[in-house]
Amino acid sequence: MSMPLLTTVVLVYLFIVGFLTIKAYRSTNNAADYMLAGREIHPFVMAMSYGATFISTSAIIGFGGAAAVFGMSLLWLTFLTIFVGIFIAFVFFGRRTRIMGLNINAHTFPEFLGIRFNSRGIQGLTGGLIFLAMPLYASVVLMGGAKFVAQILSTDYNAALFFLTIIIAIYVIMGGLKGVMYTDAFQGSIMFCGMLALLCITYYKLGGVIEAHEQLTSMKDIAIAIFGAKGHTGWTSFPTLGSPYWLVVVTTIILGVGIGVLAQPQLIVRFMTVKSNRELNRAVLIGGVFIMVAVGVAFVIGALSNVFFYYHDPATTGKIALLAADKNVAQIIPLYISHAMPQWFTAIFMVTLLSAAMSTLSSQFHAMGTSLGRDIYEKALGLSGNSVLITKIGILFAILISYFLAWGLPAFFEGGTAIIARGTAIFFGICAAAFLPMYFGAIYIPRMSKAGAYASFITGTLVSVFWIFFIHEKEAKPLMLCKTLFGVDSLASGTLWTLVDPLVIALPASIIATLIFSRMGSKLPQAHIKACFHNILYFKK
Amino acid sequence: MLGLEGIAVPLGMILTVLSTLLCIIYGIKNWNKGYITEEEIAQEREWLQENNKVKENL
């Protein structure tokens, strides 16, 4: 790896990020600017920011590596992220969220729910859950970025972690959501170009699109010989229905992330940053194309890396991707880049990954900071103060917690990187179960009561936490609470339930609780409902 | 199909392309629809004034 080339590319990248932050800092004058980017963000910036926030190092390195193991069945997740994560999210959730957000002057996702249900408790609980659960997600993304930087620069992990955290902290605290979204758009553009180049070079190297796919299909017997017992049927076909691999691919990877994307607080807040529905309409086009390239490429390349390592790389001939990377899933994509791509591309990909990590982290820190400052301190606790300053302090707290988690996690989890994809899936699952039915009710069911919102939140959260600690073996085993209390790794040990993702159980439970309780308790005043749904219920555009 | 095996994976790839096309067509068709109304501009101004008032009081 050419160090002068790498250093130049990274310095130019950081210079542009710094310039965008200063530009945002100069145009941030009030709380609406700091938390909602002044509600006048350009559709390109909004769409790229949404996409870049969604796609982190976890998606490229973690899930790309997973595609090398499970194969192209993960393309169903690409379909869901475009259809659900962009089309459904923008058209059916985004428009109503934007209008209602303006009607009630909400600045954050918890505030949106709190005002809609006329409950400071809901705002505080939602903000609290975000502040408690999101550091796990932020810390694993931070870890992924720092590990990659440490590996490429041959430096210490803790040093890379420290400097990466400092850089992100400066531009999030200074620029607010404007700074985050401007830099996201720039970083998203880099990711788009980097991933597109990766796809073209890969297909070119493997002899074309159909030829590359056929080579991967012809490796079917190898896949069955190695993973057949768990339901693998080849890298270009779906795992056997009901097998362990099918459960992981469908419940954790495809549904967990594909549905969970609808209830991500750091993404939902972006709907409230644009001036009108026109910007959202335009963002659908930009976001759809961006996600297809950013997510789809990682999954296709991950699966095709098996062909490269097995047939085309002299150093790994006769080895599938997982074995070439010494059974370290998170190592597959970086190894593929360093073996298959030209040297200049490694520098580009380094910046691509840095962009993926930084764009997601900046939004996470902003969401956590506003949850602590605005939602918990100001609203739930009813304390007053300078909104922007309190949020900045909240962001600083969030950064410190995430930093220490990222610093400590590798010491507790062997290999460190294995926790990256898992942390992401846990957070997406909890958000979907705790927030999605309540959020859907907030914008679609005017008669939904406060009791329904509480029931939805509490059921979704408790069932998720129970499943994570006591049933889903991938988490229950390392957390060890089940082992301590009951002497077993999972209460469902020996059954396929241990492989079923928490979301598959917690989301339906939360929906049922919402349906049962949404007609109970005191009704919200009619004037309040009318104010919330102004321009929505009879909105025909 | 496309050098892939069975139905599910090629279908996943086709649905990915179709859903992207859906986003593109929707975006183009509604490119100029839904621009901010006078009422929304007034609403925004009102919130901004209220925010500024709170800031001044602090």
Closest Cβ opposite residue B51 in set A32, A76, A285: A32
Q: Do B24 and A289 touch (CB under 8 A)?
A: yes
Best A28, A36, A50, A87 residue to mutate vs chain B (most B CBs within 10 Å): A87
A vs B: CB pairs below 8 A = 143
Asked if A291 and A258 count as a contact pair (C-beta separation under 8 A), the reply is: no
The one-letter amino acid code at A383 reads L
The rounded distance, in Å, linking the Cα atoms of A233 and A247 is 14
CATH topology of domain A3-427: Sodium/glucose cotransporter (1.20.1730)
Asked if A109 and A134 count as a contact pair (C-beta separation under 8 A), the reply is: no
Cβ atoms within 10 Å of A535's Cβ, excluding its own: 16
Name the residue of chain A whose CA is nearest to B24's CA: A285
With beta carbons under 8 A apart, name residues in chain A contacting B22.
Answer: 83, 87, 288
Cβ atoms within 10 Å of B3's Cβ, excluding its own: 17
Cβ atoms within 10 Å of A383's Cβ, excluding its own: 10
Best B7, B9, B21, B40 residue to mutate vs chain A (most A CBs within 10 Å): B9
The rounded distance, in Å, linking the Cα atoms of B30 and A107 is 27
> Any idea what the Cα angle at residue A451 is, between residues A449 and A455, rounded to 5°?
125
The pLDDT, as a whole number, for residue A540 is 44
- Does the structure show a pLDDT above 70 at B57? no
Confirm or reject contact between A299 and chain B (CB < 8 A): no
The pLDDT, as a whole number, for residue A35 is 65
Distances from the Cα of A396 to the Cα of A56, A108, A367, A388, angstroms: 21, 17, 12, 12
Q: Do A31 and B20 touch (CB under 8 A)?
A: no
Identify the burial level of A540 via C-beta atoms within 10 angstroms of its C-beta, where 0-12 means exposed, 13-18 middle and 19 or more buried: exposed
Name the residue of chain A whose CA is nearest to B25's CA: A285
The rounded distance, in Å, linking the Cα atoms of A246 and B8 is 12
Name the residue of chain B whose CA is nearest to A539's CA: B34
The pLDDT, as a whole number, for residue A347 is 81
Name the residue of chain A whose CA is nearest to B11's CA: A76
Asked if A28 and A175 count as a contact pair (C-beta separation under 8 A), the reply is: yes
> Any idea what the Cα angle at residue A136 is, between residues A31 and A168, rounded to 5°?
50
Asked if A213 and B4 count as a contact pair (C-beta separation under 8 A), the reply is: yes
The pLDDT, as a whole number, for residue A273 is 79
With beta carbons under 8 A apart, name residues in chain B contacting A250.
Answer: none
The DSSP string of A191-215 is HHHHHHHHHHHHHHHTTSHHHHHHH
- CA dihedral sign of residues A474, A476, A479, A484: negative
Q: What is the pLDDT of residues B12-35, one digit of tens each?
A: 999 999 999 999 999 999 988 877
Best A98, A218, A238 residue to mutate vs chain B (most B CBs within 10 Å): A238
Confirm or reject contact between A239 and chain B (CB < 8 A): no
Q: Where are the domains of chain A?
A: 3-427
Q: Do B3 and A214 touch (CB under 8 A)?
A: yes
Closest Cβ opposite residue A278 in set B4, B33, B44: B33
Cβ atoms within 10 Å of A77's Cβ, excluding its own: 28
* Three-state DSSP state, A360: helix
| Chain B contacts to A (CB-CB under 8 A) | 2-6, 8-9, 12-13, 15-17, 19-20, 22-24, 26-28, 30-37, 39-40, 43-44, 47-48, 50-52, 54-55, 58
Q: Do B33 and A280 touch (CB under 8 A)?
A: no
The rounded distance, in Å, linking the Cα atoms of A267 and A193 is 22
Name the residue of chain A whose CA is nearest to B39's CA: A535
Q: Do B27 and A234 touch (CB under 8 A)?
A: no
Cβ atoms within 10 Å of A3's Cβ, excluding its own: 11
Confirm or reject contact between A198 and chain B (CB < 8 A): no
Cβ atoms within 10 Å of A4's Cβ, excluding its own: 8
Partnered with residue A41 across adjacent β-strands are: A274
User: Which tokens in the block code for residue A139?
Assistant: 């810390």
With beta carbons under 8 A apart, name residues in chain A contacting B44.
Answer: 39, 102
What pLDDT tens digit does each residue of chain A (541 aa) get?
677 888 888 888 888 888 887 877 777 766 666 666 666 677 778 778 777 777 777 778 888 888 999 999 999 999 999 999 999 999 999 999 999 998 998 888 999 999 999 998 999 999 999 988 888 888 888 887 887 777 777 788 889 889 888 888 887 777 667 777 788 888 888 889 989 999 999 999 999 999 999 999 999 999 999 998 999 999 999 999 989 999 988 988 888 888 988 999 888 888 887 778 888 888 899 889 999 998 899 999 999 999 999 999 999 999 999 999 888 787 888 889 888 888 888 888 888 888 888 878 888 888 888 888 888 888 788 777 776 788 888 888 888 888 888 888 766 655 444 567 677 878 888 999 999 999 999 999 998 999 999 999 999 999 999 999 999 988 888 778 888 899 898 999 888 899 898 999 999 999 999 999 988 878 889 899 999 998 887 644 4
The rounded distance, in Å, linking the Cα atoms of A329 and A340 is 17
Closest Cβ opposite residue B27 in set A105, A282, A385: A282
Reported ipTM: the value is 0.85
Q: Which residues of B22-50 are buried (b: 16+ CB within 10 A; e: fewer)?
A: bbbebbeebeeebebeeebeebbeebbee
Closest to A358 in 3D by CA, of A223, A175, A212? A175
